[in-house]
């Protein structure tokens, strides 16, 4: 699928809501940053000035089927923007629906929603039935900080994911050292607020393909995977994922679902992230900064 949130009627049925709903005016759409008046202290002086903060608001992801059945699958705290990609990436990363299973994604105009919630609720319209999975219950509330916090086990991943083949991807030290700077240059929101995580997708030659920002690490990755799903780019078997924070279990799970063979992080990985990487054949690089890094798994893809 292809998608551009600002388009009047994007391709393949992926459509934003109109400016008004059936039950009244819609609240102004929140942006990725929010201006605030603050008092800044420096030494013995104080001054009032404007500051830009990273916006954090809830996003409820609903699914609906042609038979009229529907269900809430997640409520996550996120930075507004690329919401449809976030929903598509979440569905893909959790094995609930691929791009071909989605008929449309739209902001929700259901009668049970107050107008101020319209841009904080999206409905993923499926071509088939709503997934009947008990595992969905664990996603009912996620935070911008940690997602579902690795509550799924490695064993459950084997039901829908296989270890990644070694493939042709090879990484040099020079390529790795260039990734943090390239990602930082694409972090416009972080430059304004200092409060957003980022995820970047790179080619095997180190070229940045796409980058997304969010207050949540896992949301940034979902947006990136959702973009790839809607662009018919999955699996990302010859790409590298770079994240601005630590490498958690959930980020590794999302990378595995997208077929990404290499994940790099500015900070440390968790122990479960390393376990997943080693079990499923993913190269995992941590503490990638200042031309230094640690390779925790998949060292056969790293030269030198």
The catalytic site residues sit at 146
Element of type H or E holding 27: none
Q: Which residue in this structure is represented by tokens 């990302």?
A: 236
Other Cβ atoms less than 10 A from the Cβ of 204: the count is 17
- Is 291 flagged in the annotation as binding? yes
- Is 141 flagged in the annotation as binding? no
DSSP 8-state class, residue 22: T
As a whole number of angstroms, the distance between CA 193 and CA 232 comes to: 32
- Is 292 flagged in the annotation as binding? yes
Element of type H or E holding 162: none
Structure tokens at 205: 């030659």
| Cβ-based neighbours of 38, under 8 Å, separated by 6 or more | 48, 49, 50, 51
Structure tokens at 11: 């391709």
Q: Distance between alpha carbon 173 and the CA centroid of its chain, in Å?
A: 26
As a whole number of angstroms, the distance between CA 223 and CA 80 comes to: 11
The residues with which 143 forms a beta bridge, in sequence order, are 147
As a whole number of angstroms, the distance between CA 215 and CA 57 comes to: 10
- Is 90 flagged in the annotation as binding? no
Q: How far lies 53's CA from each of 34, 67, 189, 194, 259, in Å?
A: 5, 42, 9, 8, 34
- Is 57 flagged in the annotation as binding? no
As a whole number of angstroms, the distance between CA 174 and CA 72 comes to: 45
Q: How far lies 79's CA from each of 41, 54, 103, 153, 188, in Å?
A: 28, 7, 25, 28, 13
- Is 29 flagged in the annotation as binding? no
Structure tokens at 150: 């690795």
Binding residues: 287-292
């Amino acid at each position: 699928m292809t998608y551009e949130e600002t388009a009047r009627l994007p391709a393949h049925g992926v459509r934003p809501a109109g400016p008004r709903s059936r039950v009244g005016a819609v609240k102004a759409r929140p942006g990725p940053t929010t201006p605030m008046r603050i008092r800044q202290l420096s030494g013995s002086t104080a001054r009032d000035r404007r500051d830009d903060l990273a916006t954090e608001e809830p996003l409820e992801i609903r699914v609906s089927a042609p038979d009229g059945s529907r269900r809430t699958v997640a409520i996550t705290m996120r930075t507004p923007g690329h919401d449809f990609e976030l929903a598509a990436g979440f569905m893909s990363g959790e094995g609930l629906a691929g791009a071909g299973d989605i008929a449309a994604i739209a902001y929700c105009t259901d009668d049970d929603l107050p107008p101020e919630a319209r841009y904080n609720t999206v409905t993923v319209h499926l071509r088939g039935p709503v997934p009947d999975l008990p595992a969905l219950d664990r996603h009912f509330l996620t935070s911008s900080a940690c997602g579902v916090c690795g509550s799924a086990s490695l064993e459950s991943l084997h039901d829908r994911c296989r270890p990644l083949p070694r493939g042709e991807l090879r990484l040099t030290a020079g390529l790795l050292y260039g990734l943090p700077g390239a990602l930082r240059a694409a972090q416009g929101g972080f430059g304004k607020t200092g409060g957003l995580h980022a995820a970047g997708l790179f080619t095997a030659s180190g070229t940045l393909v796409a980058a997304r920002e969010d207050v949540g690490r896992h949301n940034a990755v979902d947006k990136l995977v959702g973009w790839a799903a809607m662009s018919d780019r999955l699996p990302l078997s010859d790409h590298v994922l770079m994240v601005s924070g630590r490498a958690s279990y959930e980020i590794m799970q999302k990378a595995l679902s997208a077929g990404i063979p290499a994940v790099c992080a500015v900070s440390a990985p968790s122990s479960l992230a390393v376990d997943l990487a080693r079990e499923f054949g993913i190269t995992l690089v941590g503490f990638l900064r200042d031309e230094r890094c640690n390779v925790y798994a998949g060292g056969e893809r790293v030269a030198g």
